[in-house]
Structures are given as structure tokens and as C-alpha cells.
A and B are shown apart, each in its own frame.
Chain A
Amino acid sequence: MKIGQIVNQINDIISTLVKEGLSDHQTFPSQKTSGEQTLITIGDSPDLSVSLRDLPYHEVYHALRSSVSYHIRMLDGGLIQFLYTFEKGSLAKHRLALFPSPILEIFDSDPELYMKDELFADIVGKHSVKFPVRFDFSADPKDHKDPDHPRSHLTLGQYKGCRIPVQAPLTPYRFIQFVLRNFYNSVYFSCDFDKRAIDYKFSDSITEGERNLSFISFT
């Protein structure tokens, strides 16, 4: 897959979510090239390192939110990022993440509250447990340790050792399909990405060792 295709997919995703009224605020993807490396990042690429630091989740969330370090802010406050790094034209890294709002109720627990734009929807007493969802990929051999640190893996929450192997790097379509199907299920079919998700695919990066564990696969 080419850089341009990735950018087009992100733009198409943003536009679809805006049309469906699911994105409250969004930032266009931007490209930064230095030497042989090209980054697909967010607007004027704010400081993204905060999400990696060892902070309580609500602080991570608010830092990302207030610095607008996201491509899409969903109607329930979920922040979505698509970050890709290419080297010499081929994929070197990606970080695809969903950071749900620690304060607001998750969308699927009460879709009507959100679609009808209830003024007091933020007055919530009991909270469901929120955790970030991240798909990371690195082609760098230094980052790879078979099978403990898969090239492409899924991390749930802030668990240090959580690296569920994934068959291949994800395209933006693949990632948004995963996010919407699982976390915005009640509106998934209004913006169906199933067809678009199978159009392009990165080559497999999973190893035999990783295949012996529970892993995520797709065709």
C-alpha cells in the first residue's frame, strides 16, 4: 500500500463519520517527510508522546484531547488516531488507537442519549470501565521478539504485557471497522466499512511462534 492510499482512506473515514453525525470534531491527516522517512500524522503534529508515558488514564486522555492529538473525536468523546511511518516507501510503523472518554458513558450503552443530543448526557454517576485500544506495528527487527513482542499486535488498556499477536499491519479501513463494529455497534451499519476493509491489505507479519498463541487474523 502507498502513502497516498492511506491518507485517502483516513480522509474518507473522517468524511463518512462527519456525514453520519458521529464525529464531533476532526483533524485532517498530514504528511511529514524527513530524509527517507515519511510520517502520516495529525494536523500540525502535536506532541503525541503523552499517550505512552506512565500516567493515570484520565490524564492521558485529557492531554490528548486538549492538544487535539486525534483525527476524530467521536460523539461520546472517544479519540481516534491513525499514525503511520513509511521508510523508503514501505510501511515501517503504525499506531492506531481509540481512547474512550473516561468521563462520558460509552456510546453503545445509550445510543439515543447521544443521537438526540441530550443536554445532561454528561451527568453520569456510575461509569463503565474505560480502556484504550491500540494496534501497534513495527517492522524494525530490534522491536521484534518472537513470540513475546509481535511485529503487529493489539494492546488493551494500559497493561504492559498485553500484546495480542495480529496477522498483519492494519489499514485505516481495517482499524475503523474494528472500532465501529465493537464499540459503536448500534450505528455500525449506517457507515458500513466491511467492503472497503477488504480492498487493500498489508502482507502478513505474523510468525509461526505467534500463530501458536491466541491471535487476531483476517483475510
Chain B
Amino acid sequence: MRGGIRNATYKHAKVVVLLLPSCEMHSPMDTVWGSTTKPVSARQLADTLATLGDEDGTLYIGYPIIGTPEGAFPFDALLLSPTRGAIAFDLVEGKELGAYQERQDDLFAKLKSKLLQYPNLMKRRELAAKIEVITFAPSAAVEPLDDEYLVVGSADLPKEILKLEWDDQERFPALAAAIQSLTTVRKTKRKRSIENDNSRGAKLHRLNESIANLDENQNAAVVETVEGVQRIRGLAGSGKTIVLALKVAYLHAQNPDWHIAITFNTRSLKGQFERLITSFVFEQTSEEPDWSKIRILHSWGSPRSEGIYFNFVKSNELAYRDFRSAQGAFGEGKEFAGACEEAVLSARKIEPVYDAILVDEAQDLPSSFIRLCYSILRAPHRLVYAYDELQSLTNASLPGPEELFGSDANGNPIVEFTPTASGQPRQDIILEKCYRNSRPVLATAHALGFGIYREPGGLIQIFEQNQLWQDVGYRVREGSLADGEYVSLHRTDETSPLFLENHSPVSDLIQFKAFDSRKDQDDWLVENILRNLREDELLPEDIVVINPDPFRTRKVVGEARARLMSEGVNSSLAGVSTSPDVFFERDVVTFTGIFRAKGNEAGMVYIVNADDCFDATLPGTRAIIRNRLFTAITRSKAWVRVLGVGSEMRGLCEEFERVKEHQFRLDFVYPDEETKKALKIVNRDLTRSERQRVDAKVSDLQGVIEALEGGDVKVEDLPEDLRERLKAMFAK
């Protein structure tokens, strides 16, 4: 897996090489392929450096971009090497060398001034990092070398690189961090007044501070620019939104003329994108973003507020469908899918308007919307879509690219992901590190979501592709990840950083509590929220209360909200009336149903009425309710309390006990092909009304069986033919 290699390149170079299959030729030289205006020379640079064999390092194409008083200053390429330092390249695409001395001086000065800002790269008053600048001109006739200014072609480049030496190599991690730090991703939340250094408030503050920089893999995901479709997958909390926002800033800085759109499903993301993009663009260009080039648009939109779909129907002079009208035309659960499909099919001539579109939360958007985005892109259709494979746990959220984009007239897929060759940008990126949920919290969410330790009954759903477990950051501890085999999966500190769990004992990170009545549950909830605010130094906006059943939330949280109010604690209920730009309002504890909780996070998460998520009479509903539990648990940045009532909640508590007994590992026998098939049928994608029809039929059947058992209907009353068919069906 490329991501893993990339992460390990510097620290464990030798181990990585051993892990690689012996037949695969691999150069330790990694290339992060960004956006470039000099594709030919950049390609030749990458190819030439690849010939260096076991030379370690990362080559960045079209990166970094340094903000200067004159605006953005993009580098053609930069080689970051643990043994040679930072080598910036001035690429000459054609035959004319031009004023290369001036350009080299400029590159050197810009890079040096950037690195001078990092105290751990300084030795007293001098820069301790080694910087070199080389003009690489593969097509030009290169004159004999000038002593001061290196100008080389393909033939001489390796030789010149190998001549460079850096004797302060222990500073390499600091140098890498400086080059890779596109930005400091620090949230500007309200300042806390902390008195007790051990309070929850203090711990949360430290947690927020530690997630300040991008990791190397995230950084590469930002920079790597594909001339076509790119997919970014990752768990909740793996930084997809930030990566996308940075990507917009990066592409805008590199290509100020491009029309770039970023789109999403949850309205509250709009404000977040606006803030992130503004600050990122400013850091890279020292200028405000040009909002005539960057559009932050909701996927749907309405006459009051633009959106990708709304703009599409407007410019193509088609009829606009709002939610109700789409529901009437295409059915419940298929509203947006139907509207997009209809629009694309009825448009006569689609005018491309964008040079790049980035789609966040693609798992919550229909395939037809992704195709609509594709259709309004100019060639080469730079579409980046990020999604969380697991938001719905079943991997049916989005089909693969071949199916998603369909085929052309000759039956060839329009979009196909090819395995990444060395020196090419990755089309398919996985962010496997989770920076939101600690290991015990995330593993509990997975164990309960899949029903790993459910008794009786066992698994509720499973990944069809076994490999996905590794993609989302699990490692095989024992056994093997094969159909019908025992496997023990766990998360390591590589994919679930320790700082997320070290702040509190495991028994405090996640708790399950069963109560005898709703009133007892509300009492406990209110009492604990009051303690959080009065003793634990948490702010009201650190707390979110989630009710998993989306349809009854309004009613069932009323009592607890009223009780808090009588104690002087205000709350809000996340709903349609919530401002499009914010999820958390100031000074209030947020109550929310599961749909609106998606895409948001909080330090302290209370899940109420979790007994709703234990079991369902209908097998097909089980996965749905367990997914809700999964989503609710994974909203937590630090602590989770799962509360509920009665025997079902006690059942859930017992299941959690088993997760603990297994030390938050997932130990189970992987289902074989047949079991997988059965699970797939049960969990097939049904709309709400289809699901209701199935429910009604099953309950009809239940009535018939009860009538037979009770003697109201005798078996003999059934027509012969019906009896035979029943017999045949169950004989299978």
C-alpha cells in the first residue's frame, strides 16, 4: 500500500524495503505530483531522479508555494532529502535558459526566508538546513558549468545531486516538517479560562492544540493533482475536509485563472470552508482569495441560495425541483438522485464552466450528482471527490469509478483508476489515520456497528472487500483476513495516535449506562452536563447530545432540555432553522438527531435512548440502527456516554463489555462467501418506502403464522398449492 510506505519512508526505510514483495522494483524516491505548468521537464526530472536507485527522499512537483509580499511564489519542484537537504529546482521547459541566475537567487532567497522562521532549523544566527538550487534544463543546450550557478541536463543531474552533502542530518525531521507544513491548522475557538490543569476543559484544550499540523500523507493528498478524476477516502476525522479546503487554496495559488468549485451536502460546512480557504489562500499568496474564481456551493441549492444543481438547471433553462417536488416525482429517499439524473438527461448542450470541482461528503450524495459535476468540467475533468467509506458501514455508499462514471460509446469506461506508477500523482488516496476518535472509541463503534460481539446472532454487516479493514487503519494481529478464517484486528498507534487516548483512562473515554426509566436517564444526563459545566471546565458548545432515532428527536429530548433550562443552562436543537453556517451556537448545549450530527464533532458526546439501536425485529433494519449508533459514537473527540433504558440497553452494555474484554480488538471469524451474500441481501439498499413495504409484508406473514398457531386458521384452510409452495421454499 502506497500510503503506508510513504508514511514510513524516512523513519523505517529499511523495514519498508523488506516488506515490499521482492518482485516489485521500488525506488525509495517518492514523488508528490502537484499542479505544474512545466509538465515535460517535470516528468523528466522525476524520471531522472528515479534512476538514483536507493537514494532516499521525496520529490515535490509544483510545491511548495510560499506567500510573499508580491503574492504567491510557487516552486517548480523541490527535492527533500535526509542526506542532502532541500534542493529547489528551476525547471526550463524549452530550449531557452533565460535569466537563470536571477531565478536561482530568487528561489534561494524565498526558501531561506521561509526556513529562517523555524527556530529548530537555526544554529545561533545561521540556518542549519542545507539549501541548494539547480536549474534543470533537459531540452536546452547546457553550457559548461558555472561555479556559482548549477545548470544541468538529464545526463549530469544524478552526478551533481550525489555531490551534495549535508552533515546536519539530525535536523532532517525539522526540515521536513517545515517544508511540509502548508499551514497550521489550528482552530480559532473561543478562549477558555482554565483553572484546573487536569479538568476536562484543560484536556480538550490540549487535544485541540496537538492537532495542529498536517501529516505527511495529508500533505501529499493536498498537493497531488491529477489531470482527471481523483478520489480521497478516509474515516471520519481523517482530515478530508481540511485536505479539500487546502487543495482549493493550493490549486488557486498555482492557477489563479482556474474556476474552482467546492461542494458538499451539509450546509454547516459552508462557513467552515469559507474560513479555511480564506486563511489558507492568505498563507500561500499573502492575498485574499479571488471569490470570482472560487465558488463554495451547496450541492442542491435553491432560488435563495445557489448550488451546483440549481445553477445547472438555471444555465440550461431546465425546470428546478425543490425537495418536495423531487420527492413527489422520484420517491422518498431518491429525491436528489432523481433530480440530478433528470437534469443531466434533459440538458441539450452542457456548457463546461469549471476547471476543477471538489466534492466533500460524496458518500451522502447520489452518483448522478457526481456525474453532473463531471459534465460541467472542462477537459481533463479535474474532479476530486472525498468520501467516508464507512459512514453507512455497508460499502454500498458509492460504486467504483468505472460504474460511477459509466462507459463511452465504445463500451470503454470513461474513468478508470490505474495503479499508480512511480512519479505519478495518485488517483486514489486513502487517509487511514483518524485524528478524531481515540482507538477504544473507534474500535467500539466498529465492533457495535458490525455486531462483532453480538450474542446471539453475530455479525450484522461486513465489508465485502476484506482489504478495506486495512485501508481504514486496522492491522491483522493474529489469524488472517480471509473468508471463513479467524482474524484478530486491532488499531495501532500509527493509525490511531496515542495522544487521543492518553489524556484520560479508558474507563472514562467511553461508558455505557442502562437505566430503568427515561426519567432516570434524563436525571443522569442533566446531572452530568451540569457537572461538566460547573466543575469540569467544559463550555456548553463542547457538549452535544445525540438521539439516534431521527424522526422522534424533537419530542424525546424536550424534557431534558427543559430540565437544563430550569438550571439556567440553555440548549439548542439542531434543525432546519439552524443557521446554514454554524452547527454549534455559542453558550448552548446542542441537541441533535443523527442526520444533523453527521459531519460534526464535540469533546463530550452523550447518546440518549441508545436502546433504540440494540436490535430490530426485522433483520434489514438492524444495520440501519447500528449505523446510527456508529455515527453517533464517532462524533466524539474525547469522551462518549452511551445511555439508554431497559433490557435492550442492558444487552448493549453487555456487548460493550465483550468489546472491553477483547481489549478493543475485533476478534472474529471472517464470514465466507455465502454468509457475505446473505448479509448483502438483508442490507440491500432500499428506500424508506420500499423498506416500509417489506416491513408490512413481514408483519402480514407474522399475522398468518400466529393465526395458524392459535388455531384461528387451520393448515387445512390453506389452498393445496399454497402449502406446497411454502414447503418448497423452506426446504431450500
Contacts and interface: CB of A to CB of B under 8 A. Distances in A.
A123 B555 CA distance: 24
B335 A120 contact: yes
A117 B550 contact: yes
A25 B574 CA distance: 9
Interface string B569-588: 01111111111100001001
Interface stretch (B73-81, B321-329, B400-408, B615-623): B321-329
B572 A24 contact: yes
Contact of B304 (A20, A25, A103, A110): A103
B562 interface: yes
B171 interface: no
Interface residues of A, number: 40
Interface in A87-103: 101-103
Nearest to A101: B577
Nearest to A26: B570
A102 B579 CA distance: 13
A123 B322 contact: yes
Contacts of B572: 24-25
A3 interface: no
Contacts of B14: none
A66 B579 contact: yes
B558 A122 contact: no
A123 B301 CA distance: 7
A119 to B, nearest CB: 5
Contacts of A139: none
B566 interface: yes
Interface stretch (A30-38, A73-81, A156-164): A73-81
B378 interface: no
A145 to B, nearest CB: 38
Given A20-B558, A117-B554, A122 B565 contact: no
Given A117-B595, A124-B322, A125-B325, A24 B553 contact: no
A20 B555 contact: yes
Contact of A18 (B321, B325, B562, B579): B562
Contact of A117 (B320, B551, B562, B571): B551
Which of B325, B558, B559, B575 has the largest count of A CB atoms less than 10 A from its CB? B575
Contacts of B221: none
Contacts of B69: none
B575 A117 contact: yes
B302 A114 contact: no
A46 interface: no
Contact of A74 (B574, B577, B596): B577
Interface in A1-24: 14-15, 18-24
A25 B300 contact: no
Contact of B323 (A18, A114, A124): A124
A73 B558 CA distance: 15
A214 B410 CA distance: 75
A76 B321 CA distance: 21
A54 interface: no
B573 A119 contact: no
Contacts of A75: 554, 573, 575-577
A99 B355 CA distance: 42
Given A15-B566, A117-B575, A120-B336, A126 B322 contact: yes
Contacts of B596: 117, 119
Contacts of A116: 550-551
Nearest to A126: B322
B382 interface: no
A72 to B, nearest CB: 11
Given A118-B323, A125-B321, A18 B577 contact: no
Contact of A120 (B300, B557, B559): B300
Contacts of A120: 300, 323, 335-336
Interface string B109-133: 0000000000000000000000000
Contacts of A74: 577
A24 B561 CA distance: 11
A127 B305 CA distance: 13
B454 interface: no
B710 interface: no
Given A19-B558, A116-B550, A25 B325 contact: no
B553 A117 contact: yes
A202 to B, nearest CB: 27
Contacts of A19: 558-559, 561-562
B440 interface: no
A157 to B, nearest CB: 19
A124 B300 CA distance: 10
Contacts of A103: 302, 304-305
Contacts of A14: 565
Interface string B611-631: 000000000000000000000
Contacts of A113: 323-324
B451 interface: no
A125 B303 contact: yes
Contacts of B267: 122
B546 to A, nearest CB: 13
B526 to A, nearest CB: 13
A42 interface: no
A198 interface: no
A174 interface: no
Interface string B298-310: 0011111100000
A115 interface: yes
B138 interface: no
Which of B303, B324, B572 has the largest count of A CB atoms less than 10 A from its CB? B324
B593 interface: yes
B246 to A, nearest CB: 27
Nearest to B336: A120
A104 B577 contact: yes
Contacts of B588: 25
Contacts of B574: 24
Interface in A132-186: none
Interface in B334-373: 335-336
B577 A77 contact: yes
Contacts of B303: 125
Nearest to B364: A119
Given A120-B300, A124-B322, A114 B565 contact: no
A128 to B, nearest CB: 13
Interface in B504-558: 550-551, 553-555, 557-558
A127 B562 CA distance: 33
A201 B63 CA distance: 73
Nearest to B266: A119
A189 to B, nearest CB: 15
A127 B320 CA distance: 14
Contacts of B578: 24-25
B302 A123 contact: yes
A200 interface: no
Complex A-B, nearest 8 residue pairs according to Cβ-Cβ distance, in ascending order: A21-B554, A125-B322, A77-B577, A19-B558, A123-B323, A25-B572, A120-B323, A121-B576
15 contacts: A19-B561, A21-B557, A24-B574, A25-B573, A25-B585, A26-B565, A76-B576, A103-B305, A113-B323, A117-B554, A118-B323, A122-B302, A123-B322, A125-B303, A125-B320
Given A24-B577, A113-B324, A119-B596, 14 more contacts: A15-B565, A18-B565, A75-B554, A75-B577, A103-B305, A104-B577, A117-B596, A118-B323, A122-B580, A123-B301, A123-B322, A124-B302, A124-B322, A124-B324
Interface of B: 267, 300-305, 320-325, 335-336, 550-551, 553-555, 557-559, 561-562, 565-566, 570-580, 585, 588, 593, 595-596
Interface of A: 14-15, 18-28, 65-66, 73-77, 101-104, 110, 113-127
